[in-house]
Amino acid sequence: MNRVDTAIHRIQDLRPKDFTLTNLDDELASMTLIRALPDKFSGFASYLLLMDKLEKATIQQAFVTEESQNCHCASAAPNVTSALAALSSHTPVPPTLLCMFCGMNNHMQAECSRYLDSQEKAKKSVH
């Protein structure tokens, strides 16, 4: 019983003073949304978990943005494929790398300085 009481006090000490049940419900909803993502969205989930606050509205907006981006990419894929096919007969097209964290070209998430900085910041905030 003492260990449980100590753990509860630690949890209470870690949360902000103005933390309410509504905040808890929002965080639980946010975590549920993130955990429900399929494996192919692991980079997106990592990005969301690095956010300072797990506000439900922010997470939902990120989901909408990600979905619209994926739909845009999927609808543009046939046009891009046909354009690349036409170009490939003339000149080779080097593949481009796209970072799933920052959205910039020419590097992957594992090499992204913004991702690595955010990851380090998250680790420090846990300690």
pLDDT tens for each residue of 51-95: 877 788 888 888 888 888 877 665 555 555 555 555 455 444 444
* Cα separation, 126 vs 110, whole angstroms: 21
Are 31 and 54 in contact by the 8 Å Cβ rule? The answer is yes
pLDDT for the residue numbered 6? 94
Are 59 and 33 in contact by the 8 Å Cβ rule? The answer is yes
Share of the chain above pLDDT 70, in %: 78
> What distances in angstroms separate CA 121 from CA 6, 20, 94, one per listed residue?
27, 26, 34
Confidence of residue 125 (pLDDT cuts 50, 70, 90): confident
Q: What are the sequence ranges of the domains in the chain?
A: 3-75, 96-126
pLDDT for the residue numbered 77? 52
Are 114 and 47 in contact by the 8 Å Cβ rule? The answer is no
State pLDDT tens for residues 37-51: 988 888 888 888 888
**Long-range CB pairs of 93-102, under 8 A, 24+ apart, other chains included:** 100/43, 100/44, 100/47, 101/43, 101/46, 101/47
For residue 33, give both structure tokens. 């949304």
Question: What pTM was computed for the model?
Answer: 0.47
105 bridge partner residues: 98
